[in-house]
Amino acid sequence: MPTFSKGSNHPSIPARLRSPRPTAVGLMLLGALMALGCATGSGLTREQVLGQVETIGALEARLDLAQEHDLQILAPSGVAAARESFDRAMASADDGAPNEAERYAKQGLAQLEQAEKDLQRSSDALREVLVRRQQAIAADAPTLLPERFQALDQQLIKASGMAENGDVKAAKNAAPHC
């Protein structure tokens, strides 16, 4: 059962994906999550909500780490489902329903575990594309050609979703070819 940790040296994950540096998207997500915490309806602080149900904090930490490692690109469905479970857990805790919050948080952790397993299938199926993506990042393509890079990333996410769902052949056909 693979799990991500800072500095993970999993051989099938390109060096860029193993980097512990936060990405711009990760920083924006962190800001959005902090804003969400400040806007809880019951008047509880984010820390109070997280303190009520420790599993939510564990899920949040795993989501942050998954974001840092671009797991949402290689296992988009699983990460999206886990993020939705996190949002529901936060809302339930804020509404004073800690048992429901715990259930959603555990569900999110299980979804992330599955996403981490699906990562292997996606990275194996799309290894060449991931290497080219890493080369593009090293050449500063996200800054020099942001629209093109984002379009290719969206195509990669679509292909990864196919691999995540077990359709490796379709994933290879749908992968960006630069």
Domains in the chain: boundaries: 23-174
Q: For residue 95, how many C-alpha atoms fall within 13 Å in the half-sphere facing its CB?
A: 11
Residue 49: predicted pLDDT: 61
Distance CA 78, CA 45 (A): 28
Helices (H), the chain: 15-18, 24-38, 46-52, 54-68, 71-74, 76-94, 98-125, 127-138, 141-144, 146-164, 168-174
Q: Which residue has the higher pLDDT, 54 or 107?
A: 107
- The full 3-state SS of 33-56, as one line of letters, equals HHHHHHCCCCCCCHHHHHHHCHHH
The CA-atom distances, in angstroms, between 19 and each of 22, 116, 160 are: 8, 16, 20
Residue 51: predicted pLDDT: 64
pLDDT digits (tens, 9 = 90+) for 68-111: 888 888 899 999 999 999 999 999 988 888 899 999 999 999 99
Side chain identity at residue 94, one-letter code? D
pLDDT digits (tens, 9 = 90+) for 130-142: 888 888 889 998 8
